[in-house]
Amino acid sequence: MARDYDLEPHFLVKFFEEEGIVFPISKEELLDKFGDKQFQINAAYRMTTLNDFMGIVEIDQFENRHQFFCALAGGDLQLDF
């Protein structure tokens, strides 16, 4: 299934707000607490989990959302090469 790069950040921010995820947070804590929870990732109602989504992220600690999204984008770009 094709990725919807325009909407993924929107749905991730919405998931963070709904779950009350606050930064700073470690990758381990984020996945331990929220890794198995399903959330919508595109306009076609495709669902995913953070466990599935975060395999590409190599950073272990996130000081804020900006750092999280940069790590997510950077990990995704590395997979494409």
Question: pLDDT by residue (tens digit) across 22-47?
Answer: 999 999 999 999 999 999 988 888 89
Task: Read off the pTM.
Answer: 0.75
> What pLDDT is recorded for position 52?
86
pLDDT for res 46: 86
38-74 burial, b if ≥16 CB within 10 A, otherwise e? Answer: ebebbeeeeebebeebbeebeeeebeebeebeebbee
| Other residues' Cβ atoms within 10 Å of the Cβ of residue 22 | 9
pLDDT of residue 71: 87
What's the pLDDT at 8?
81
